[in-house]
Amino acid sequence: MPEYISASRINLYMQCSLKYKFRYIDKLPVSFKSSGLAFGSAVHSALDWLHRERMNENGTSLDRLYKILEADWYSQKLEMDIRFKENEDEERLVLLAREILGLYFHEPANELKGAEIPFTVPIINPSTSEKLNVNLEGFMDLIEKDGTIVEFKTSQQTMSLDDIINSIQLTAYSYAYEVLYQKPPKALKVVNFVKNKKPKINILETSRVNSDYQRFFCLTKQVLKGIGAQVFFPRIGFWCKDCEYEEGCRTWQK
C-alpha cells in the first residue's frame, strides 16, 4: 500500500496501471523526458516565480520571467534528454513558452493568497464518515485571495467545460481546500494555455459539491484496492507515444 495517494497517482493508475507500477513501485530509471512534460514544467516554474514575486510586492519584468523560464529549461536539459515530437524543436518550444508567458503577464492580476500550496489531508467519505488508511497529498498551483483555486494547464487543443467538470485533480483540490479551511473554495478556475501556432489563454470555471467528494472517495478506495492487490497491466492508448517505459512495457510478462 502506498504511503500516500495524490490526484496524479490516481489518474496514472487509471490511465495505465503498469506505468504506475514502473514509476512508483519499481522506481525504474528513465532515459528521457517528453517535450510536453518539459514544456509544462518550465512554464509552471516561471509562473510560480512570478506569483511569489507579486505576493512579495517585488518589482517584476517580462525579461526576468523569460530568464526563469530559460533557466528551468536548461536545467531540465542537463538532467535528462528531452524527446521532441515530429516538427518540434527546442527553439520553437521555448519561443512558444515565451509567447504564452507574455500573454499571461499582461492579463489583469488578482490578489493572491498563496502559490504552490502543499497539502496533506485525510480521505473521508462525507456521507458515511468512512476513512481511508492513507492521506491525500498534493500541491495547488495558486489560491487567490477570494478563495478561488487556480490550476494551470498547457494543451494542444482548447479544453472544454466537460474536461474540468470531470477532472479528478480539481475534485481533489476542492476537497482538500474544504478540509484545510473548513469552507468551500469560491470557485475552481483552470487557466488553459493552448499551444497552437497562435497561442491563447482559455479560462474555465467550475465547482464541486459533496456528491463529487463521495464519488472521489469511492474511486480512490478502488484504486487503492487495485494497488494493494497488485493489479497492474498495460493499457494501450495515445499516451504510449511519449511513455518513458516503452521498452519495459514491451517485454512485460506478469
Domain shared by 89 and 180, yes or no:
no
Domain boundary among 58, 83, 109: 109
User: What is the pTM for the complete model shown?
Assistant: 0.94
pLDDT for position 57: 86
Q: 3-state SS of the chain: helix, strand, coil percent to 5?
A: 50, 25, 30
Same domain, 122 and 219: yes
> What per-residue confidence (pLDDT) applies to 44?
97
For residues 129 and 6, membership in a common domain is answered with yes
> Do 124 and 212 have their domain in common?
yes
Specify the DSSP class assigned to residue 196: S
Are 48 and 172 in a shared domain?
A: no
Residue 218 belongs to some domain of the structure? yes
Indicate whether 240 belongs to any domain: no
pLDDT score recorded for residue 141: 97
pLDDT of residue 59: 80
At residue 168, φ and ψ (nearest 5 deg) are -65, -40
Choosing from 109, 133, 156, the residue where a domain stops is: 109
Task: State whether 1 and 36 are in the same domain.
Answer: no
Is 98 a member of any domain? yes
Cβ atoms of 110 and 146 closer than 8 Å: yes
Q: Which grid cell sits at 72?
A: 528551468
Each residue's pLDDT expressed in tens, for the chain with a length of 254 residues: 889 999 999 999 999 999 999 999 999 999 899 999 999 999 999 999 999 999 998 888 999 999 999 999 999 999 999 999 888 899 999 999 999 999 999 999 999 999 999 999 999 999 999 999 999 999 999 999 999 999 999 999 999 999 999 999 999 999 999 999 999 999 999 999 999 889 999 999 999 999 999 999 999 999 999 999 999 999 999 889 889 998 889 888 77
Q: Note whether residue 176 is domain-resident.
A: yes
Give residue 52's region: left, alpha or beta (phi > 0; psi -120 to 50): alpha
228-236 CB contacts, 8 Å cutoff, 24+ apart: 228/1, 231/17, 232/17, 232/18, 232/20, 232/21, 233/17, 233/18, 234/16, 234/18, 234/19, 235/15, 235/16, 235/17, 235/18
In-domain check, residue 244 = no
Q: Which of 109, 134, 164 is the last residue of a domain?
A: 109
CB 34 within 8 Å of CB 242: yes
Whether residue 213 contacts residue 170, with contact meaning beta carbons closer than 8 Å, is answered with no
Number of domains in the chain: 2
User: The domain spanning residue 132 has which CATH number?
Assistant: 3.90.320.10
The answer to the question of residue 237 being in a domain is: no
8 and 115 part of one domain: yes
Instruction: Name the 3-class secondary structure at 112.
Output: strand
Residue 19 has what pLDDT?
Answer: 97
| Same domain for 190 and 202 | yes
Q: Are residues 99 and 39 in the same domain?
A: yes
Q: Is the residue at 216 inside a domain? A: yes
Domain that holds residue 69: 31-109
Q: Is residue 236 part of a domain?
A: no
Structural element, H or E, at residue 164: helix 161-165
Residue 235 CA, distance from chain mean position: 21
What is the model's pLDDT at position 85? 86
138, 219: one domain: yes
Q: Residues 42, 134: one domain?
A: no
Residues 102 and 117 in one domain: no
Residue 105 cell numbers, joined: 503577464
pLDDT of residue 196: 87
